[in-house]
A and B are shown apart, each in its own frame.
Chain A
């Protein structure tokens, strides 16, 4: 059973950088599939942030692309998310997930539990 676990600070100050890591177990990132980040602001729906393949190929949501970087570290079996210049609007539960198949636009079938990141001074 593939498992994903998000980790990172739960509180980030406005204008600073949000950094999260997703650690994958029971499956090697290098074996394939796309790995994505999705977020859910309080009381709102789900928003796809972006996805990455093990070779570093990425797709980003244009609404966030200028502020977001997703990277992968296959040696640690982890992938990461950085969002720069955060505001209160970036307060959300952040999920990491794996795609159902090898397509970058496939739905996500394995998810982490999610981690709440609050942007506040």
Chain B
């Protein structure tokens, strides 16, 4: 299985800050990488597909980059509603696997 490692596991930030979350795959996955936002008791929300493709309705302060094994999710100008847990997911090879999550907190 392809292992997805996110860092950091948690990060503290303030409204207006810029935050970067990284995701590393244990082997190359070209650009088959998605990012989700997950809040407790809610359904996960797909933010980005194919490493950098912002989903419809997702604010432009979210962006993704990377290819191969190293990827980043960047959130500029944090808003109160952005505090959540973020997961990366590789969709290159079965079984589909997720990172362990990065908790973004105030």
Contacts and interface: CB of A to CB of B under 8 A. Distances in A.
Given A46-B87, A107-B89, A114 B98 contact: no
Contact of A61 (B38, B49, B95): B95
Nearest to B35: A107
A114 B96 contact: no
- Interface residues of A, dominant DSSP: loop
A114 B43 contact: yes
Chain B interface residue bracket vs A: 20 to 34
Contacts of A100: 46, 49
Given A45-B101, A107-B34, A109-B55, A63 B95 contact: yes
B43 A113 contact: yes
Contact of B44 (A44, A46, A59, A63): A46
B96 A105 contact: yes
A106 B91 contact: yes
Contacts of A62: 1, 95
A109 to B, nearest CB: 5
Interface string A39-76: 00000111110000000000111110000000000000
Interface of A: 44-48, 59-63, 95, 97, 100, 103, 105-109, 111-114
Interface of B: 1, 32, 34, 36, 38, 41-46, 49, 55, 87, 89, 91-101
15 contacts: A45-B100, A46-B98, A48-B97, A62-B95, A63-B1, A63-B95, A97-B43, A103-B91, A105-B91, A107-B34, A107-B91, A108-B44, A109-B55, A111-B45, A113-B42
Given A97-B43, A106-B91, A113-B42, 18 more contacts: A45-B100, A45-B101, A46-B36, A46-B98, A46-B101, A48-B96, A48-B97, A61-B95, A62-B95, A63-B95, A95-B44, A100-B46, A105-B91, A105-B92, A107-B36, A107-B89, A108-B44, A111-B43
